[in-house]
Amino acid sequence: MTLAVLTGASRGIGRATALGLAKRRTNLVLLGRRSPELEETLQLAERDAERVTWVECELAHSDAVERAAERVLAELGTPDVLINNAGVIERLPIEATSTLSWDAQLAVNLRAPFLLTRAFLPGMRARKSGRIVFVASISATLGSRHAAAYAASKWGLVGFMKSLAEELRDSGLVTVAVLPGSVATDMLRGSGFPARMSAEDVASTLIHYALDANPAHNGGVIEMFGT
């Protein structure tokens, strides 16, 4: 039974991914803060998943991320799949972007995926199998006004994945980054871009690379521009 860890499952792409993984009968672990939205995702996923576990985690705090990873390893074992989906954005011009805002966006979007990957990697290496999927953004390939911190975090995420892929050569492990464009979710509000795809479109892609894609995709960057 596949053990899959997912962040950012309270709504949007994360919720769609959680429900898609549940339909694949995974042993699903959702990392995140308690909220009515996450509770709803848990209830919906429980209809299909082999098992659903919520592990409380404030992804903006490094010690909380490390504790959550330790709990997963101690109680459930090494994941087969890690999907780093959680992301935050604060739309501000650069002059109005505080150091606090900059740090908060990079903490969730870039540092948390690094910490989770680092925590689960030894067990995956020992088992010689595992898949790590990063949800980046088309913003990792271009600049957008009022989104400098977000874009910087997503460019950094792709760079991290590429370096990880080099370290995973001949290991049996696979890592990729998926770069969605304009998705019909709350995060798109205020961007000025029309939606070109649904959360379910992105979720199906994430699940494909997490569970089904040929290992030769290691290091792949999958851009999604929509229709």
In terms of Cα–Cα distance, which of 159, 63, 194, 172 is closest to 128?
Answer: 172
* Residues that are catalytic: 150, 154
Question: Is 108 in a helix, a strand, or coil?
Answer: helix
In this structure, which amino acid lies at residue 129?
S
Tokens of 153: 């975090």
Q: Supply the DSSP symbol for 72.
A: H
Residue 19 region by backbone torsions, left for phi larger than 0, else alpha for psi between -120 and 50, else beta: alpha
Vertex 110: Cα angle to 109 and 113 (nearest 5): 95
Q: Report d(CA 186, CA 192) in Å as an integer.
A: 13
Instruction: Yes or no: say if 83 and 210 are a contact pair by the CB < 8 Å rule.
Output: yes
Closest to 17 in 3D by CA, of 44, 51, 36: 44
